[in-house]
Every structure is written in structure tokens, then in C-alpha cells.
Structure 1
Amino acid sequence: MWFKNFKLFLLFFTVVFYNCGEVKPETLSVGEMKCSHCSMSIVDMRFHTQLITYKGKRYHFDAIECSDQFTKQNQIKAKQIWMTNYLNTNEFLSKEKAIVVQSKKIRSPMGGGFAAFKNHEDAFPFQN
């Protein structure tokens, strides 16, 4: 009897600890997914933004401004937001650490001119 209880106990904690791991951004292929806000295909990965809620729902956006509008309109509580580094599309930056610049020099899919950079030195040439 105790062995059966021990197996259930072990199974329960295995499931709990497995689901407590660090959540990471998903890598997409060009055109694989549509923006959760405007429904445009995500084709320019320099502006790809991802949001995950506390319940685990993941949303993808084709531009930073779509992510911002979506969270405000739907009153979404984001657990984590990642933005693609404008200069390296293979690198995701957390919203807290990213340097977000709005510039006329940046042509984002929705026309807002927002882009995320890893540091101020990378962002400097794009500032107006």
C-alpha cells in the first residue's frame, strides 16, 4: 500500500516540477504564424514579439505596437514579453532589458517605427 502511495507522490511532484521550468520564446519560421492582433503574417522577424500569460497562453505579434495595443485592449496580464533583437533575429530580449526605440529610420510592419535593441550603442544609429 505504501509503495502505491509513494508512486503517486513521486508522479505528482514530477509533473509539478516539470511545469515549473523556465518559459522561453518560440522560434518561428517566416510566414508560419499570424499576428494575434492584426492577423498579418509574421514575415519580418526583426519585429517579432511574443507574450505569454500567467495561464500559459502564448501570443505572437508582427510588431511591438501590435503587442502593446493587444495587451491594452484585452487587458492581458503578461507573465513575460520577448522582443526580437532588431540586429540579430535569432536573439530574443525580455521587454524589461530591451532598449525600445521609435524612429522614422525604422520601417516596422505596422508603421509605428518601433524596434528593440540589446544595448544603447546598437540603438544609437537608429535614433532621430
Structure 2
Amino acid sequence: MWLKALKSTLIFLIVVLSNCGEVKPEMLAVGEMKCAHCSMSIVDMRFHTQILTDKGKRYHFDAIECLDDFQKQNNPPTKKIWVTNFLDRKEFISKEDAIIIKSDKIRSPMGAGLAAFKTHEEAKPFE
């Protein structure tokens, strides 16, 4: 009997502790997922953005403007929002720390010309 209780306790602790780490964005393969707002396939990873809600649901977007429109329409309670560094498609930046610019030099999937950068210096050539 005590062995069964110990086993249940250990399983519970493993599940709880495995969910206590740092929350990170999910890396996607090109075309693996569709945008939660416009339903286009996410293929240009320089513009991939994502939201993690307070309840743990993830929403992926093909452009910053889709993320912004989704937030305006649905107002999900968010735990974290990430945008991809335009200069490094494998690097995510917290949206609150990102430098987001609008530029005619940038052709984003939805055409608004929005892109995220880590620093103002990195963004200057695109302004």
C-alpha cells in the first residue's frame, strides 16, 4: 500500500517539477503550422511570433501584424509573447524587449513591413 502511495507521489513531483523551468518559445519547421490569425502557412521564419497564454495554450503567427490583430480581437490573458529576431531566425526575443520597426525596406508576410530586432543599431539599416 505504501509503495503505491510513494509511486503516486513521485509521479506527481516529477510532473510538477518538470513544469517549473523557464518557459521558452517553440521552434517550428518551415510550413509546419498555420498562423492562428490569418491561417497562412508560416514559411518566412524571420517574422514568426508566438503567444503563450496564462493557461499554457500557444498561438503561432506568420507576422507581427497578425499577432497584434489577434490580440486586439481576442485579448487572451498572456504569460509570454515572443517575436523572432529579423537578423537571426533561430533567435526569439521577448516582445517587450524587442525593437519593432515599420519599414518600406521590409516585406513582411502580411505587407505591413514590421520586423523585430534586438537593438536599435541592428534596426538602423532597415529604417
Instruction: State the TM-score, normalized to the length of structure 2.
Output: 0.92
1:1-128 to 2 correspondence within 5 Å? Answer: 1-127=1-127
Cα distance in structure 1, aligned partners of 2:83 and 2:33: 16
**SS at structure 2 position matched to 1:46:** helix
Amino acid at match of 1:91: E
Cα distance in structure 2, aligned partners of 1:106 and 1:73: 25
Name the Cα RMSD after superposition.
Answer: 1.4
**What's the offset of the Cα at 1:53?**
0.5
Report if the CA contact (8 A) 1:52-1:59 is conserved: yes
**SS at structure 1 position matched to 2:84:** strand
Report if the CA contact (8 A) 1:71-1:77 is conserved: no
Q: Cα deviations across residues 49-82 of structure 1 (Å, max 9, x unaligned)?
A: 0111111111110000100110110111111111
Amino acid at match of 1:75: N
**Structure 2: 5+ residue stretches without partners:** none
**SS at structure 2 position matched to 1:26:** coil
**What's the offset of the Cα at 1:4?**
4.2
**What's the offset of the Cα at 1:111?**
1.0
**Structure 1: 5+ residue stretches without partners:** none
**SS at structure 2 position matched to 1:68:** helix
**What's the offset of the Cα at 1:23?**
1.8
Cα distance in structure 2, aligned partners of 1:124 and 1:5: 60
Amino acid at match of 1:105: K
